[in-house]
Structure 1
Amino acid sequence: MGQKIRKCKNCGRYTLREICPGCGGKTFSPIPARFSPKDPYGRYRRMSKKG
């Protein structure tokens, strides 16, 4: 397969393309980053979620 699913920022539609076929907006990968216990920015990310 090789391709990863992508989600449109505007309409929320899922596709395999870089541009959404429905609205023409940009798409992004909805898959979260892999967890790592050595994450150097984890502390800052958790602080930004609190405030």
Structure 2
Amino acid sequence: MKMKMHKCNSCNVYTIKDVCPSCDGDLNVIYPPKYSIEDKYGKYRRKLKEEAFDK
């Protein structure tokens, strides 16, 4: 299976194309984080999410 999401090394733009649309730079494949039952940073993500909804 080929990953569709790419990120440009030079301008940090996300795209699904084979070449960066803004600068024609090299692209890296973006992989999702691994799933873990023991979520080390879960409490921090939840805290940031609560703060975002409070504003």
Q: TM-score, normalised by structure 1?
A: 0.49
Larger helix fraction of residues:
2
Q: TM-score, normalised by structure 2?
A: 0.47
